[in-house]
């Protein structure tokens, strides 16, 4: 059931009708049933994997909660050495958490990484491991991260473990988040799911608008670029370096429209049920630095990495010692940034692995991590340099320069994240540099890969609309909320246009072929 398809819209409508028809106390059961039906419509076998994760993490959280209660009893019992009691229980909880997370991530490793890595080993060392040919369960990367976050929050005592399995199963299987996240936090999502929402026509309309906007992004911007991008990445040796670079830039636009469009669809669908999900994008291509880009792109993954990997690692005893040693050996300035720089590198390696099992993905993580670590290490010198040249960060020219530089670095990164292998990514880069202008005089480089004049015009128009909307949002204008204050017939116009466009170009168009979301296969 594709979330762009009419089937999904019918399913969503039926679920929403039923949700608001049953009494509030039972609404969560409607969502749970909808989640199970939705998931099984993709693959019944993969449902077993989801069920295992739900059962395992449910029981695991209860064990962590039990340790918290035992600690509290020991402390209440007047044990003299409170510090020792706390330290003892913290060690026990840490060991338990380590074991639980190992099992949880092992599920992901087996389904997502084992076969590709076995194939890689076979290639590299001439071995003959037989692949397991396991099916990649839908949304596994998202629900493993979401449940692992829940376990860590239980370990930290920030969340009380859920004792009702059916409630917890809803948190894991809430259907709008199953395709491509966002990675929700238990504290913000679960209470909304369990309590149920009152019927609110305004919220429902806002949800429908967001859903339609996401569909428009996918259908009129991401999908028309998909074939051209695929062609360039598959046959880059046939194109000039300029076209290869253009292909990577087009992929940046395609991926943003695809992923952010998909997340708009699922967040909009969720808002129809009155449930707010985590925001995942804040106009990332307006970022002035790569660091800012990553705070605006796939925000829920970035926040997960920050809270559950970056902070614990950077504040660990080992990193503390390393920081001190660096300060002693290289001076205070370097010592201060050495640990954050190293941890940034490791976090981005993890982001690369999260994207996929190939070496190109790891290189993608390394590329981003190295650039950001380097920026951190030279930050003081750059600031001094700018002061000497009287360059102000707030000046319009410098801001534009920052945005252009960030976009360029992001485009180069996409050579790695989209190409078939690391070898191909490096050859594409080489081609871009070495043969940048090759054959540019012979024919039109913009249409060489199958995107004709009409298609370019449509894509550019869609880009212009997206840019205009993003610019308004950057200026702090909340478009849907502003529209909601207008008379009903004014509110109706954009809704009508969106529905008409989708009906004519998608649902009544027999030539239209739905293209899967890029992050569906993650």
Note the residues at the interface with another protein (CB under 8 A): 83, 156-157, 291, 295, 306-307, 310-312, 314-315, 320, 323-324, 336-337, 339-340, 343-344, 376
User: Minimal distance in Å, beta carbon 94 to another protein?
Assistant: 11
What distance in Å separates the CA atoms of residue 171 and residue 161, rounded to the nearest whole number? 12
What distance in Å separates the CA atoms of residue 174 and residue 186, rounded to the nearest whole number? 12
Cβ pair 189, 170 in contact under 8 A: no
Find the helix packing angle between 332-355 and 317-330, rounded to 10°: 140
Give the sign of the dihedral formed by CA 151, CA 153, CA 156, CA 158.
negative
Q: Which is nearer to another protein, 157 or 439 (CB)?
A: 157
Q: How many helices (H) and strands (E) does the chain have?
A: 23, 0
Q: Which is nearer to another protein, 340 or 494 (CB)?
A: 340
Count of other CB atoms within 10 angstroms of residue 449: 22
User: Minimal distance in Å, beta carbon 388 to another protein?
Assistant: 16
Q: Which is nearer to another protein, 311 or 401 (CB)?
A: 311
User: Minimal distance in Å, beta carbon 135 to another protein?
Assistant: 36
User: Minimal distance in Å, beta carbon 383 to another protein?
Assistant: 10
What distance in Å separates the CA atoms of residue 88 and residue 96, rounded to the nearest whole number? 13
User: Minimal distance in Å, beta carbon 115 to another protein?
Assistant: 34
User: Minimal distance in Å, beta carbon 311 to another protein?
Assistant: 4
Give the sign of the dihedral formed by CA 16, CA 19, CA 24, CA 30.
negative
Could you give the C-alpha distances from 502 to 38, 92, 497, 506, in angstroms and in order? 23, 56, 9, 5
Tokens of 255: 């991926």
Q: Which is nearer to another protein, 291 or 438 (CB)?
A: 291
User: Minimal distance in Å, beta carbon 306 to another protein?
Assistant: 5
User: Minimal distance in Å, beta carbon 44 to another protein?
Assistant: 39
Could you give the C-alpha distances from 109 to 50, 140, 420, in angstroms and in order? 14, 10, 20
Q: Which is nearer to another protein, 153 or 223 (CB)?
A: 153
Cβ pair 180, 519 in contact under 8 A: yes
User: Minimal distance in Å, beta carbon 158 to another protein?
Assistant: 8
User: Minimal distance in Å, beta carbon 514 to another protein?
Assistant: 37
- Provide the b/e sequence for 254-270 (b: ≥16 CB within 10 Å): bbbbbbbbbbbbbbbbb
3-state secondary structure 364-384: HHHHHHHHHHHHHHCHHHHHH
What distance in Å separates the CA atoms of residue 301 and residue 165, rounded to the nearest whole number? 26
3-state secondary structure 158-197: CCCCCCCHHHHHHHHHCHHHCCCCCCCCHHHHHHHHHHCC
Q: Which is nearer to another protein, 84 or 500 (CB)?
A: 84
First-to-last C-alpha distance (Å) of the chain: 17
User: Minimal distance in Å, beta carbon 466 to another protein?
Assistant: 24
Tokens of 308: 């559950």
Q: Which is nearer to another protein, 265 or 341 (CB)?
A: 341
Cβ pair 211, 265 in contact under 8 A: yes
Q: Which is nearer to another protein, 310 or 364 (CB)?
A: 310
Q: Which is nearer to another protein, 131 or 320 (CB)?
A: 320
Q: Which is nearer to another protein, 179 or 278 (CB)?
A: 278
Count of other CB atoms within 10 angstroms of residue 97: 20
Q: Which is nearer to another protein, 263 or 314 (CB)?
A: 314
**Burial of residue 394 (number of CB atoms within 10 Å: 0-12, 13-18, 19+):** exposed
Q: What is the CA radius of gyration of the chain?
A: 25
Count of other CB atoms within 10 angstroms of residue 333: 13
Q: Which is nearer to another protein, 116 or 340 (CB)?
A: 340
User: Minimal distance in Å, beta carbon 36 to another protein?
Assistant: 35
What distance in Å separates the CA atoms of residue 354 and residue 368, rounded to the nearest whole number? 14
Q: Which is nearer to another protein, 311 or 408 (CB)?
A: 311
User: Minimal distance in Å, beta carbon 156 to another protein?
Assistant: 5
């Amino acid at each position: 059931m594709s979330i762009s398809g009419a089937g999904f819209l019918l399913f969503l409508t039926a679920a929403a009708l039923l949700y608001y028809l049953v009494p509030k106390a039972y609404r969560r059961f409607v969502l749970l049933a909808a989640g199970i039906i939705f998931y099984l419509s993709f693959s019944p076998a993969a449902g077993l994997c989801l069920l295992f994760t739900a059962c395992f993490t449910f029981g695991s959280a209860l064990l962590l909660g039990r340790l918290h209660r035992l600690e509290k009893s020991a402390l209440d019992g007047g044990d003299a050495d409170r510090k020792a009691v706390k330290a003892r229980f913290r060690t026990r909880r840490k060991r338990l958490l380590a074991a639980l997370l190992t099992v949880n991530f092992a599920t992901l490793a087996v389904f997502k990484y084992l076969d590709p890595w076995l194939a890689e080993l076979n290639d590299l060392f001439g071995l003959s491991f037989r692949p397991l040919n396991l099916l990649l369960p839908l949304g596994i990367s998202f629900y493993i991260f979401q449940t692992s976050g829940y376990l860590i929050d239980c370990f930290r005592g920030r969340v009380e473990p859920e004792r009702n399995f059916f409630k917890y199963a809803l948190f894991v299987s809430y259907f709008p988040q199953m395709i491509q996240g966002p990675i929700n936090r238990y504290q913000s999502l679960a209470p909304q799911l369990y309590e149920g929402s009152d019927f609110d026509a305004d919220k429902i309309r806002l949800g429908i608008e967001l859903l339609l906007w996401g569909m428009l992004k996918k259908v009129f911007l991401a999908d028309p670029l998909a074939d051209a991008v695929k062609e360039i990445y598959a046959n880059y040796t046939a194109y000039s370096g300029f076209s290869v670079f253009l292909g990577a830039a087009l992929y940046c636009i395609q991926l943003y429209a695809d992923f952010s469009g998909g997340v708009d669809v699922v967040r909009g669908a969720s808002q129809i049920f009155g449930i707010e999900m985590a925001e995942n994008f804040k106009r990332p291509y307006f970022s002035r630095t790569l660091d800012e880009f990553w705070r605006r792109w796939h925000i829920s993954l970035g926040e997960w990495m920050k809270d559950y990997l970056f902070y614990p690692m950077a504040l660990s005893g080992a990193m503390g010692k390393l920081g001190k040693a660096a300060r002693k050996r290289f001076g205070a300035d370097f010592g201060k940034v050495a640990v954050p720089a190293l941890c940034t590198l490791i976090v981005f390696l993890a982001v690369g692995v999260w994207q996929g099992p190939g070496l190109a993905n790891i290189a993608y993580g390394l590329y981003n991590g190295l650039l950001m670590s380097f920026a951190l290490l030279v930050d003081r010198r750059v600031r001094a340099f700018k002061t000497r040249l009287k360059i102000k960060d707030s000046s319009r020219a410098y801001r534009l320069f920052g945005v252009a530089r960030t976009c360029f670095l992001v485009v180069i990164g996409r050579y790695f994240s989209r190409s078939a292998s690391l070898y191909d990514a490096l050859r594409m880069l080489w081609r871009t540099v070495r043969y940048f202008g090759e054959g540019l005089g012979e024919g039109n480089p913009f249409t060489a890969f199958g995107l004709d004049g009409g298609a370019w015009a449509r894509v550019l128009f869609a880009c212009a609309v997206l840019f205009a909307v993003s610019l308004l949002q950057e200026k702090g204008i909340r478009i849907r909320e502003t529209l909601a204050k207008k008379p009903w017939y004014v509110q109706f116009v954009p809704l009508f246009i969106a529905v008409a466009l989708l009906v004519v170009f998608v649902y009544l168009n027999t030539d239209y072929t739905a293209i899967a979301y890029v992050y569906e296969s993650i």
